[in-house]
Structure 1
Amino acid sequence: MIKVKVRLRPIVSKINLPTVLKTAILPGDTMEKLFIATQVGEIFYIDNGVIRTFLDIRTRIIKLGASEQGVSSGGYDERGLLGLAFHPKFYNNGLFYLHYSVAGTQGPGALSEHFKPNPCEPRTLSLRWANRETKYDHIDSIEEWILQSNSKPQKRRTLLNLRRPFFNHNGVNSLNFSPETGKLVLTTGDGGSGYDPFNLSQDDMEVAGKIVEIDVDKNTNIYNPPVVTRFNELPVPIQETLTVIAKGVRNITGISYQRYYNQYIKYVGNVGQDLVESIFSFVYYKPIPVTQLIQASLRNTNPNQEGFINFGWRGWEGAFPTSIIRDCSTNPNSDEKTIAYYNEALKTSVLRLQPLTSYFHQDPRHDKFGGTSLTGVQAYMGTGIPALTRNVVFTDLARREESRPPVRGVLAYTRVRTDGKLNDFSMIETDYHFGSQSAYYVSLGTNLDQTKLYLGVNGSMKVTDFNQGTVFEIVP
């Protein structure tokens, strides 16, 4: 794959950490505007080079970067405003959708101590999430809002209230509309910690670790649904609006749709554990209505999962079985190690989807990089950067080789192979000089027809370090 060079053109700087970058045409307007959602709860848009506030929900967002039990102290956090999507008919109906972690819902977390699977302690491989009403970290809300005729946004209803076990793996850029079905697509992570302690991602009843389509055009007449963790806890009218596209998700950076003749290629990035970050692609899939999953569960049968997408987690990390390596020897002088695999590695080995590409956390090849965390995946259909046309661009938070300050993120690209096999990737060189400031690449976005790419960069990984965000357009 050829090496591509691009320029980063700053659009706005000194904002908070930018988690979602999208464009939309405001009702009564003619031009697409770039919208920027920040993790702390602000949504801005750019109007003729001027930054304007669209909505500020900071008071609705959980206190971020706190050092309470179950939360990583020191300002790093994976909660906050995580999803923003505009209805396909936003120009006419003013509807848009938010996913955020709700203020005042801080809990103690699902486990009282840090989790690490231990092959010498088999019970750590089959834990269950007990006492969910009290042992959780926070509640996430997925809501429908409307831009009123006076240009003031107002909340209309809550679609889902989800109880989350840990502070991390809630997804990011988690709301997108499918151009195929017209439905809202929620991409949610496995609930957090590491190694998916309760195997939520493979359990058909768990909302965590899934890609879910929501039919927002169906009115359930339920405006504040109960707080749940499992599909069968939802009221039937809400169950009837939901279909599940995929399971086996660890943590996810949204879903990107690329038109290919009369169908769409779907791209999904799955954040890795210890080894690799992976990008998956698929065209055909067979979603399963939640009502069918519940019926199968009640009958203790398996629903027909032919055509259903499974990314393989927690049994698989990309194209590799998830390995748990520990020194289990009773002899302290022995360097004997035990390598164990989850049972799910066997159960999902044939059923899972193979990744389009994976990149390692450590890679000695001079033209590659060691990754940290995948933060964005977007198809590019523009012609301004010809080498990237009809390819898929992705970002990594921070290059492992440059993990000492100043840190630099990475841009790269790949493409779908016609034989469906694992493909290589190539780095994209940028011209921008960040100086002595760190530059974590935290988000990637595109405009409506995917002819422009936007990159969100932050000078710190602490959500409590304010005004360190910059949004760039990626240009030739």
Structure 2
Amino acid sequence: MRKVKVRLQPIVSKINMPTVLKTAVLPGDSIECLFVATQVGEIFYIRDGVIRTFLDISPRIIKLGVSSGGYDERGLVGLAFHPHFYYNGLFYLHFSVAGTQGPGALPGAFESFKPNPCDPRTLNLKWINREMNYDHIDTVEEWILQSNGQLQKRRTLLNIRRPFLNHNGVNSLNFSPETGKLVLTTGDGGSGYDPFHLSQDDMEIAGKIIEIDVGKNAFYNPPVVTRFDELPAPIQETLTVIAKGVRNIPGISYQRFRNQYIKYVGIVGQDLVESIFSFVHYKPIPVTQLVQASIMNSEADQEGFINFGWRGWEGAFPTSMMKGCTANPSLDEKIITYYDEAVKTSVKRLLPLTSYFHKDPRPDKFGGTALTGVQPYKGNEIPDLTGSVVFTDLARDNGSQPPVRGVLAYTRVQTECKLSDFSVIETDYNFGSRSAYYVSLGTNLDQTRLYLGVYGSMKVADFNQGTVFEIVP
């Protein structure tokens, strides 16, 4: 693939961890503003080079970084503007709620679970006593920017109890230009290896892509739930499920192509690969149908339903455990973790558009850590990227040599039935001796501009180390 070079042009610096970057036109205005949501609960917008506070819900965000040495994946992770925001002022938030800290669903550190293929007990764990054994509660809310300029919460759409602190996604709320519905992307609940097998269970909210019909007025103080069948019927009727088999996910993006849309989804891997999926046609399943099938102890018709394959598959590969070889420390032994599940989902799953490895011996590639953003680019200013899919990885694997650098890369949709290639996008920016984790990626409304969120630390508790850049020729 063609080598592409770009510049990173700083827009705003010394902010907290940027989780969402997107543009909108404020009611009564004529210019798109760039909105930046931070993990700690602040939302800023930038107009004419000036940064202003839009909303600050930090008192309502769970205390971040306390139980995990400063690292955290909770907080404000979703912001979406209604397609008619300019006229109705409606926007939506997804965040982890203050005062909901629980002990977690399993004893020990949140990522301490390791399945043992030789011990069936570790392969068939159940999440029990959920009202007590959980980590936190996430909420999805509808807000309005009123004509007098005041911001007000209108209603709560969902309250979701989560088993662990990780895998809450970023950029988790987006509107579908096809259906006009709000799309919520949920990770598998966290820990590692999906200990309770939530992502493939049709009743579990975790590990899914869900459409919410916000035009229906069915949301008033919804109960705190983990499963679809725990929701009141009027709320069930507002929900459809697009996909399952999600591990962790930095949102969904849409690219118009003639009279249809290509959907792009990045799935964060476990030990082996990071994967980007694309699809055009899909058949969502109403939650009422899923619940009815569960009551009848049957399976709803899943023809055309999207399944990314987790936890049996990690991208294009059966989920593997990596063990160091004692006889040769430079090699790893790879053991298929969930063989039976890999077999069961082998023909039901969607194959990725591309996957990239955590360790890659090829000189023109890179070893990645975690996918943090996927966006199509339709602009002409960077012609080598026009029509491509740009993605970011948190940190390049450089053998643990400081300072850390994230990775910007791109791929293209292929017409042949094979994995697409990908290539690094080289940047000119000098971060000096400081680390630069690439934590988020965003675009403007017509996908002709790209924005990159960078943080100087992996820890949300290390404050004000964020910079937002525009990616320019």
Give the TM-score band, short-chain normalised: over 0.9
Identity in percent: 81
Contact 2:410 2:423 in 1 (8 A): yes
Contact 1:204 1:293 in 2 (8 A): yes
1:317 paired with 2:314, answer: yes
Q: Any residues of structure 2 matched to 1:45-444 within 5 Å, and which?
A: 45-67=45-67, 73-113=68-108, 114-220=112-218, 222-324=219-321, 339-401=336-398, 403-444=400-441
Contact 2:253 2:263 in 1 (8 A): yes
Over residues 308-344 of structure 1, what are the superposed CA-to-partner deviations in whole Å (9 max), with x where a residue is unaligned? 00000000000000123669xxxxxxx9996543421
Structure 2 residue runs of 5 or longer lacking an equivalent are 325-331
Contact 2:271 2:320 in 1 (8 A): no
Q: Name 1:19's counterpart in structure 2.
A: 19
Q: How far apart, in 2, do the equivalents of 1:296 and 1:76 lie? A: 40
Over residues 18-74 of structure 1, what are the superposed CA-to-partner deviations in whole Å (9 max), with x where a residue is unaligned? 00001000000000000000000000000211110000000000000012xxxxx22
How has the CA–CA distance of structure 1 residues 66 and 254 changed in structure 2, closer, same or farther, with 3 Å as cutoff? same
1:421 Cα deviation from its structure 2 partner? 2.2
- Aligned residue type for 1:176: N
Q: How far apart, in 2, do the equivalents of 1:337 and 1:278 lie? A: 19
Q: Which moved more, 1:84-93 or 1:109-118?
A: 109-118
1:405 Cα deviation from its structure 2 partner? 2.0
Q: How far apart, in 2, do the equivalents of 1:157 and 1:24 lie? A: 22
Q: How far apart, in 2, do the equivalents of 1:8 and 1:182 lie? A: 33
How has the CA–CA distance of structure 1 residues 126 and 48 changed in structure 2, closer, same or farther, with 3 Å as cutoff? same
Structure 1 SS opposite 2:199:
helix
- Aligned residue type for 2:27: P
Over residues 174-216 of structure 1, what are the superposed CA-to-partner deviations in whole Å (9 max), with x where a residue is unaligned? 0000000000000010000000000000000000000000000
How has the CA–CA distance of structure 1 residues 159 and 340 changed in structure 2, closer, same or farther, with 3 Å as cutoff? closer
Q: How far apart, in 1, do the equivalents of 2:427 and 2:323 lie? A: 40
- Aligned residue type for 2:5: K
Contact 1:402 1:408 in 2 (8 A): no
Q: How far apart, in 2, do the equivalents of 1:359 and 1:337 lie? A: 17
- Aligned residue type for 2:301: N
Q: How far apart, in 2, do the equivalents of 1:319 and 1:199 lie? A: 19
- Aligned residue type for 1:351: K
1:149 Cα deviation from its structure 2 partner? 1.5
Q: How far apart, in 2, do the equivalents of 1:345 and 1:398 lie? A: 29
Q: How far apart, in 2, do the equivalents of 1:352 and 1:338 lie? A: 21
Contact 1:325 1:340 in 2 (8 A): no
Q: How far apart, in 1, do the equivalents of 2:393 and 2:9 lie? A: 19
How has the CA–CA distance of structure 1 residues 437 and 93 changed in structure 2, closer, same or farther, with 3 Å as cutoff? same
Q: Name 1:35's counterpart in structure 2.
A: 35
Q: Which moved more, 1:365-374 or 1:342-351?
A: 342-351
Contact 1:125 1:342 in 2 (8 A): no
How has the CA–CA distance of structure 1 residues 404 and 318 changed in structure 2, closer, same or farther, with 3 Å as cutoff? same
Structure 2 SS opposite 1:266:
strand
Q: How far apart, in 1, do the equivalents of 2:349 and 2:340 lie? A: 14
TM-score, with length taken from structure 1: 0.96
- Aligned residue type for 1:65: G
Q: Name 2:329's counterpart in structure 1.
A: none
1:401 Cα deviation from its structure 2 partner? 1.2
Q: How far apart, in 2, do the equivalents of 1:291 and 1:281 lie? A: 27
Contact 1:325 1:339 in 2 (8 A): no
1:302 Cα deviation from its structure 2 partner? 1.1
Structure 2 SS opposite 1:291:
helix
Runs ≥4 residues deviating over 4 A: 335-340
Match of 1:448 among 430, 445, 463: 445
Q: How far apart, in 1, do the equivalents of 2:29 and 2:434 lie? A: 38
Q: How far apart, in 1, do the equivalents of 2:146 and 2:65 lie? A: 33
1:122 Cα deviation from its structure 2 partner? 1.5
Structure 1 residue runs of 5 or longer lacking an equivalent are 68-72, 328-334
Over residues 84-103 of structure 1, what are the superposed CA-to-partner deviations in whole Å (9 max), with x where a residue is unaligned? 00000000000000000000
1:121 Cα deviation from its structure 2 partner? 1.9
CA RMSD of aligned residues (A): 1.6
Q: How far apart, in 1, do the equivalents of 2:412 and 2:209 lie? A: 22
Q: How far apart, in 2, do the equivalents of 1:363 and 1:103 lie? A: 41
Query: Number of residue pairs matched?
Result: 465
